[in-house]
């Protein structure tokens, strides 16, 4: 399995054109976090060091082929005094598989400050790595992420709100020491943010078999510096699911209780249906 350093090492092949490497994978399609992370790293290569990414909005247009590299085309939409904007298109075999807009903000700006409190949870040291206890299908997925330590907070230890339809919390971090460059930690978190989030929509439906699940779009906001090789709490909710799609949201806190990022994602959550009578029924997105 590739390391996160190898995954995020995009290659410049022409001005504002980058290639993201491909690696052997257990997934049938390219992991969404890999595509988003490589797209973000490509965009970051085109802005000066005084700017840091503060938000990204991405759309997964087609399933990526995990056996092939992706090419990322960066458009320099705007370079202002305080903000810079980039648009990135990920391409395989001449077709767009991913589109992303990313906004960068000059560092050192000042303004009002506040944040929600981190919910009470057991510390990661109180939770065991229980990957071996998962069903075989789930264990296979976690083997793809072997370099990350993920610890699910048991549902009987969640401080729940009756206003939320679905709640899930996960501690996660990269197992090894990562480079100090904050850009790299942001790219790593973009990769990690796709892990487990869509699964929060299944919490109210433990006995329902989902026939097709895939990320459709993904948005992130980065509020404060952090390290992806130190424990981060992923506080996840799914406020709604309908029409074969599920909306999920996440807030990410560090061990000091600082909110460092927020995530919103919509994904497919299709259950089986009889399409034998409809010859035009599609099996793709």
Catalytic positions are: 194, 215, 265
> What b-and-e string marks burial along 129-140, b requiring 16 or more CB atoms within 10 Å of the CB?
eebeeeeeeeee
Concatenate the DSSP letters of all residues of 135-168 into one string. Answer: -HHHHHHHHHTTTEEEEEPPGGG----TT-S-EE
Per DSSP, the three-state class of 36 is: helix
Secondary structure, 3-state, 72-134: EEEEEEEECCCEEEEEEEEEECCEEEEEEEEEEEECCCCCCCCCCCCCCCCCHHHCCCCHHHC
Give me 69's structure tokens: 């590299």
How far lies 63's CA from each of 28, 30, 160, 189, in Å? 9, 7, 35, 21
Contact 91, 17 (CB under 8 A): no
Provide the 10 A C-beta neighbour count for residue 72: 26
192 backbone dihedrals φ, ψ, rounded to 5°: -70, -30
Distance CA 283, CA 285 (A): 7
Angle at 224 between CA 221 and CA 228, to 5 degrees: 85
Q: What is the DSSP letter of 200?
A: G
Distance CA 247, CA 233 (A): 19
């Amino acid at each position: 399995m590739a390391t996160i350093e190898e995954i995020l090492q995009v290659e410049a092949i022409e001005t504002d054109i980058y290639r993201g490497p491909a690696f052997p994978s257990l997934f049938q399609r390219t992991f969404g976090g890999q595509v988003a992370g490589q797209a973000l790293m490509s965009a970051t290569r085109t802005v000066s060091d005084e700017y840091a990414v503060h938000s990204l909005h991405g759309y997964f247009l087609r399933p990526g082929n995990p056996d092939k590299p992706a090419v990322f085309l960066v458009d320099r939409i705007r370079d202002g005094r305080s903000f810079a904007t980039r648009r990135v298109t990920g391409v395989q075999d001449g077709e767009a598989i991913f589109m992303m807009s990313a906004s960068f903000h000059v560092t050192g700006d000042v303004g009002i400050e506040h944040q929600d409190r981190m919910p009470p949870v057991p510390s990661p040291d109180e939770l065991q790595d229980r990957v071996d206890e998962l069903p075989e299908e789930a264990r296979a997925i976690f083997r793809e992420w072997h370099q990350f330590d993920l610890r699910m907070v048991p549902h009987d230890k969640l401080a729940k709100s009756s206003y939320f339809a679905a709640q899930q919390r996960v501690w996660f971090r990269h197992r090894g020491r990562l480079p100090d460059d904050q850009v790299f930690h942001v790219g790593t978190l973009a990769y990690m943010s796709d892990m487990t989030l869509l699964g929060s929509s299944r919490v109210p439906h433990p006995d329902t078999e989902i026939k097709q699940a895939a990320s459709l779009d993904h948005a992130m906001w980065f509020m404060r510096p952090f390290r992806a090789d130190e424990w981060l709490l992923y506080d996840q909710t799914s406020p709604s699911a309908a029409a074969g799609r599920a909306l999920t949201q996440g807030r990410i806190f560090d061990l000091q209780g600082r909110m460092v990022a927020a995530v919103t994602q919509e994904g497919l959550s299709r259950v089986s249906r009889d399409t034998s009578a409809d010859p035009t029924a599609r099996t793709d997105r």
